[in-house]
Amino acid sequence: MSENQVMERLVQLIEHGTSPYHVTADVERQFREAGYTRLFMGRPWELERGGRYYVTVHDSSLMAFSIEGQVGRTAGFRIAAAHTDFPGLRLKQKPELLRNGYAQLNVEVYGGAILNTWLDRPLSAAGRVALRGKDVLHPVTRLVDLKSPLFVIPNLAIHLNREINKGVELNRQKELLPVAGLWGEEMKEGYFRKILAEELAVEGADILDYEIGLYNCDRPEYVGRGEAGPYLSAPRIDNLSGVQAIVSGMLEGGGEGICVGAFFDHEEIGSRTKQGAGSQLLSLVLEKIAAGLGAGRTEYLDALWESMLLSVDVGHAYHPNYPEKMDLTNQSPLNHGLCIKEACAQTYATDSRAVAVIQQICMEEGIPFTKYFNRSDGTSGGTLGAIASTMVPVPTVDAGIPLLAMHSARELMGTEDERALAGLLGAYYRL
Ligand code: ZN
């Protein structure tokens, strides 16, 4: 894969991946186009050496795997994992508010968004809609992306709050309600359901429920001189940079063993959900892979001890305006390569033996990397690696690209870092 392709693929995923469902659908598309075969959780798997497969789970998580080379019956799993979700605003049911000539929507906050960054931006909506079906136990679900900018959350003018530049705490129920770009006849009770029904070409009464988020319509933009770089300013870089690096790494083809790409929803709200990394999902899939290859439970358990997990998520880049927020000796400026994240509290799951594997790959392949630590008097949040490795106890490393403005509606990354990360994933799966 050429260096340009790495960034082109990421930009495409950011543009297509406007909800965790759409991220999953785009990842699925990439595997399908590469010849991967779809499997289903509730059916038996008959797997072949040399085979490549994927399974989607609850529409917003996906596991892909390839069975490469001369796999022994107890060959280990080489796993990389990332998350499909990102912080933002989610629509409640019955969301319409009509107030003094304005149509608005009722929203709640998903994950740890920097709320102020959602003001004054063109927003659209995307997600999953559940429809009435013939079979009560199997409702029909459809994805929807309204695509065009339809909503905006306007700031308050400085003239009406002279203290605004001293910092504003936004009330989540009062001050984050977007105004919808509707006028006249369109502004009726139930207008949002009507928009959805038109978009999906169904009857409004058949829409039973949905999980729909507002997303920032801003397009990804390269920042800097030249065509592509040195920076990319875009929504959703956390964690689509990780998702795409894993997909690209897998599509390059594996070496000996079973290569697994695990994409989980719900990391931004703690992972402890049925399709999150805190569920049994990964271990269930690994066990089904072993069974599909004709291995028994004991062989599966033995194979776990030959396995490894690379948890791919963004880290905090060195911020030149806030050097006091950074560790004294371990810093990760943009465009210095991927970062390997360590914390003795195990909020990053990294252990030295697993780092040694990743570090040797980087050194042999000439891939730039830094090691990242938090300040000893600061905190940073954890990753899904720390949670997944309690469910599947294998050596684990937390790594990813460093990022500025993490959880802003628009984040900033270095293009060289994504190239380094994609290079690492390719080499990791080739081992
Ligand atoms: Zn993340």
Distance 232 CA to ligand 1 centre (A): 17
What is the 314 CA–ligand 1 centroid distance (Å)? 6
Find the 406 Cα to ligand 1 centroid distance in Å.
8
Topology of the domain comprising 3-86+236-430: Aminopeptidase (3.40.630)
The reported pTM is 0.97
CB-based contact 404:294 (threshold 8 Å): no
Where are the domains positioned within the chain?
3-86+236-430, 88-216
CA distances 351 to 387, 396, 429, Å, are 14, 6, 19
> How far, in Å, is the centroid of ligand 1 from the Cα of 122?
23
Q: How far is the CA of 198 from the centre of ligand 1 (A)?
A: 34
Rounded to whole angstroms, the Cα distance separating 56 from 28 reads 8
pLDDT at 75: 74
Q: What is the dihedral of CA 65, 247, 84, 123, to 10 degrees?
A: -150
Residue-by-residue pLDDT tens, the chain, 431 positions: 777 899 999 999 999 999 999 999 999 999 999 999 999 999 999 999 899 999 999 999 999 999 987 666 667 999 999 999 999 999 999 999 999 999 999 999 999 999 999 999 999 999 999 999 899 999 999 999 999 999 999 999 999 999 999 999 999 999 999 999 998 888 888 999 999 999 999 999 999 999 999 999 999 999 998 877 799 999 999 999 999 999 999 999 777 889 999 999 999 998 999 989 889 999 999 999 999 999 899 999 999 999 999 999 999 999 999 999 999 999 999 999 999 999 998 889 889 999 999 999 999 999 999 999 999 998 777 788 888 888 889 999 999 999 999 999 999 999 999 999 999 999 999 98
Q: Give pLDDT, residue 73.
A: 63
CA–centroid distance, 313 to ligand 1, in Å, is 5
CATH T-level assignment (fold) for domain 88-216: Aminopeptidase i, Domain 2 (2.30.250)
Q: Ligand 1: distance of its center to the CA of 383 in Å?
A: 7
Give 239 Cα–ligand 1 centroid separation in angstroms: 5
User: Which two structure tokens, joined as six digits, stand for 180?
Assistant: 């919808």
Residue-wise over 12-33: b if at least 16 C-beta within 10 A, else e? ebbbbbbbbbbbbbbbbebbee
SS3 call for 246:
helix
- Distance from residue 177's CA to the centre of ligand 1 (Å): 25
In whole angstroms, what separates CA 75 from the centre of its chain? Answer: 28
